[in-house]
């Protein structure tokens, strides 16, 4: 059993030997996330934030906050079970992409890289047009994946952009000989601090936590809509492998994770080969040119793609760790893509 403290997502590990840090962790373990919003710790957080910017939050933002329930979502992909965060994360995008990959793998003609990039845009467009309550069940996702798959095959559609998103999450994975898998995400989220430590708490605020309710663009996080966060980490279980993996956030995360899972599960690629294989992704509209960017690490005949001239961290730095459940072998893999940095412990 693992207690994961995710203030999304940074903890001041350097302070582990300080009594107040241990006291803070003990409080959180005993009282749960509520102590981040009510009580002495919440008062400390609000006080320091108010000193930095008295107009950013009110006491009610803390006292009235309702955190999302901790939940997970699972789906079947080929002979594997894939599990991801279900609370305000892009799990639907990931699952829909996996379903489209599976339909493509079962078809006579595989979807092209351009079609798969377009699928990511069509998924974003569909999800944005539907009430969230109507898109959360497996049957609906199956039906929509089938519709998108047929549209991609028949219409040869024009490029469709994904939503433009920033990317600043890192992920580390480790696996123990007893089969315990641990994933750690670290995501910079500046609206709630991230650049200073709350006095005598040992906590550096980088906190979507699950953030205050409301859209990012507002000066305050109010309302009842939780800020979204990354899918990390994803758990995959097959008949002989169990592993977790994660990547950077932004528009490529679901595309990259789906690609890696597809390579390992459907194509039986060795782990490191799957991570090192050239990728492509729909990056959405370019903020300056307004054009739709499809990026590829391998040369493509289709002129819709921009070639990166090699591996690029823009396609996501992936880290993975797991265990072969047949022989007990523990493995880890990481791929920094060009000049990036990756760790797998």
> Which residues are registered as beta bridge partners of 284?
293
Q: Return the HEC string of 265-328.
A: HHCCCCHHHHHHCCCEEEEEECCCCCCEEEEECCCCCCCCEEECCCCCHHHCCEEEEEEECCCC
Tell me the CATH number at 110: 3.60.20
Task: List average pLDDT for each run of 10 residues in the chain, which is 345 residues long.
Answer: 31 46 74 77 79 76 69 92 83 95 94 95 92 88 96 85 70 86 71 57 55 44 50 88 88 92 96 93 85 93 92 89 94 82 61
Q: Tell me the residue range of the domain where 117 lies.
A: 77-166+230-335
Taking the C-alpha atoms of residue 9 and residue 24, their distance in angstroms, rounded to an integer, is 16
Q: Is residue 171 part of a domain?
A: no
Tokens 């507002």 found at:
218
Q: Is residue 259 part of a domain?
A: yes
Taking the C-alpha atoms of residue 114 and residue 112, their distance in angstroms, rounded to an integer, is 5
Nearest of 267, 264, 269 to residue 110 by alpha carbon = 267
| 245: enclosing H helix or E strand | strand 241-246
pLDDT, residue 96, reads 97
pLDDT, residue 322, reads 94
pTM, rounded to two decimals: 0.77
If you ran DSSP here, which 8-state letter would residue 34 be given? G
pLDDT, residue 12, reads 34
| 76: enclosing H helix or E strand | strand 72-77
Query: How many domains in the chain?
Result: 1
Positive/negative CA dihedral, 89, 115, 100, 234: negative
Q: String of b and e for 302-322 (b: at least 16 CB within 10 Å)? A: eebbeebeebbbbbbbbbbbb
pLDDT, residue 90, reads 86
Q: Is residue 263 part of a domain?
A: yes
User: What φ, ψ does residue 92 adopt, rounded to 5°?
Assistant: -65, -40
pLDDT, residue 241, reads 95
pLDDT, residue 139, reads 94
Q: Is residue 194 part of a domain?
A: no
Q: Is residue 257 part of a domain?
A: yes
Taking the C-alpha atoms of residue 65 and residue 59, their distance in angstroms, rounded to an integer, is 10
Give the model confidence (pLDDT) of 160-200 as tens digits: 988 766 656 777 888 888 888 888 776 655 555 455 566 66
Q: Is residue 48 part of a domain?
A: no
Q: Is residue 275 part of a domain?
A: yes
pLDDT, residue 218, reads 41
Q: Is residue 196 part of a domain?
A: no
pLDDT, residue 286, reads 80
User: What φ, ψ does residue 70 adopt, rounded to 5°?
Assistant: -75, 120
Give the model confidence (pLDDT) of 62-93 as tens digits: 777 766 566 789 999 999 999 998 766 789 99
CB-based contacts of 310: which residues, under 8 Å, 6+ apart? 297, 338
């Amino acid at each position: 059993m693992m207690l994961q403290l995710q203030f999304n997502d940074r903890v001041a590990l350097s302070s582990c030997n300080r009594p107040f840090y241990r006291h803070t962790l003990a409080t959180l373990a005993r009282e749960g996330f509520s102590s981040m919003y009510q009580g002495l710790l919440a008062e400390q957080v609000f006080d320091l934030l108010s000193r930095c910017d008295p107009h950013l939050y009110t006491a009610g933002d803390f006292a009235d906050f309702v955190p999302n329930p901790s939940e997970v979502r699972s789906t079947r992909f080929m002979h594997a079970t894939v599990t991801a965060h279900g609370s305000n994360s892009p799990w639907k995008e990931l699952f829909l992409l996996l379903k489209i990959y599976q339909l493509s793998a079962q078809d006579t003609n595989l979807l092209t890289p351009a079609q798969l990039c377009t699928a990511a845009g069509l998924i974003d467009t569909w999800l944005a047009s539907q009430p969230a309550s109507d898109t959360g069940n497996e049957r609906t996702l199956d039906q929509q994946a089938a519709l998108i798959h047929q549209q991609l095959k028949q219409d040869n559609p024009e490029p469709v952009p994904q939503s433009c998103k920033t990317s600043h999450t890192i992920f580390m994975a480790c696996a123990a000989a007893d089969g315990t898998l641990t994933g750690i995400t670290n995501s910079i989220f500046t609206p709630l601090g991230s650049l200073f430590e709350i006095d005598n708490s040992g906590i550096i605020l980088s906190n979507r936590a699950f953030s205050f309710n409301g859209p990012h663009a507002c000066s305050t996080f109010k309302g009842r809509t939780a800020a979204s966060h990354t899918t990390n980490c994803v758990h995959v279980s097959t008949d002989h492998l169990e592993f977790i993996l994660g990547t950077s956030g932004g528009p490529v995360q679901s595309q990259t994770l789906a690609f890696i899972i597809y390579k390992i599960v459907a194509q039986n690629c060795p782990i490191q080969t799957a991570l090192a294989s050239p990728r492509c992704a729909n990056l959405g509209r370019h903020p300056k040119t307004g054009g739709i960017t499809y990026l590829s690490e391998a040369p493509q005949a289709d002129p819709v793609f921009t070639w990166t001239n090699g591996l690029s961290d823009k396609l996501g730095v992936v880290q993975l760790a797991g265990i072969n459940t047949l022989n007990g072998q523990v493995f880890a893999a990481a791929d920094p893509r060009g000049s990036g940095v990756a760790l797998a412990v």
